[in-house]
């Protein structure tokens, strides 16, 4: 079984400051990794994904994440946040192995609420 832990439920930060949202996962198989953002009263929007290749992944809105296999982490970073980045962020994993029991199924973390203050 897979699991995802987002280490911070809430992260307050001032505008133009850097931010890191932490995500650790547990899985017995190789995984794909995703970060989604959810603005109030909206669905989830894909920020970025790691499927293979370079461990540093760049996404939309200036976000990036680094896959660290040894630490089973996929932390999300942005060097300078804006007020408009205020939202809830979800880390998710899916099984990479075709035919695996969790293949195609996203397992989500509990979410991190990022609040950007002026």
Partner 1 sequence: EAGVAQSPRYKIIEKRQSVAFWCNPISGHATLYWYQQILGQGPKLLIQFQNNGVVDDSQLPKDRFSAERLKGVDSTLKIQPAKLEDSAVYLCASSLNYGSGGAADTQYFGPGTRLTVL
Binding site for partner 1 (CB under 8 A): 4, 32, 34, 36, 41-46, 49, 51-52, 90, 92, 94, 96, 98, 103-106, 108-111
Shortest distance, CB of residue 105 to partner 1, whole angstroms?
5
Shortest distance, CB of residue 9 to partner 1, whole angstroms?
9
| CB-based contact 64:77 (threshold 8 Å) | yes
Shortest distance, CB of residue 112 to partner 1, whole angstroms?
10
Which is nearer to partner 1, 17 or 46 (by Cβ)?
46
Which is nearer to partner 1, 14 or 39 (by Cβ)?
39
| CB-based contact 19:65 (threshold 8 Å) | no
Which is nearer to partner 1, 22 or 49 (by Cβ)?
49
Interatomic CA distance for residues 36 and 111, integer angstroms: 9
Angle in degrees, CA 11, 12, 18, rounded to 5: 85
Beta carbons within 8 Å of 111's beta carbon, 6+ residues apart: 6, 9, 38, 88, 89, 90
Which is nearer to partner 1, 27 or 94 (by Cβ)?
94
Interatomic CA distance for residues 91 and 114, integer angstroms: 13
């Amino acid at each position: 079984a897979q699991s995802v832990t987002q280490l911070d439920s809430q992260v307050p930060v001032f505008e133009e400051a850097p931010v890191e949202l932490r995500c650790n996962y547990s899985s017995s198989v190789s995984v794909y990794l995703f970060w989604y953002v959810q603005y109030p009263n909206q669905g989830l929007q894909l920020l970025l994904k790691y499927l293979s290749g370079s461990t540093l992944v760049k996404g939309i809105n200036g976000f990036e994440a680094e896959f660290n296999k040894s630490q089973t982490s996929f932390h999300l970073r942005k060097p300078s946040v804006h007020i408009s980045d205020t939202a809830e962020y979800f880390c998710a994993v899916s099984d990479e192995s075709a035919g695996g029991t969790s293949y195609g199924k996203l397992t989500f973390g509990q979410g991190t609420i990022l609040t950007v203050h002026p």
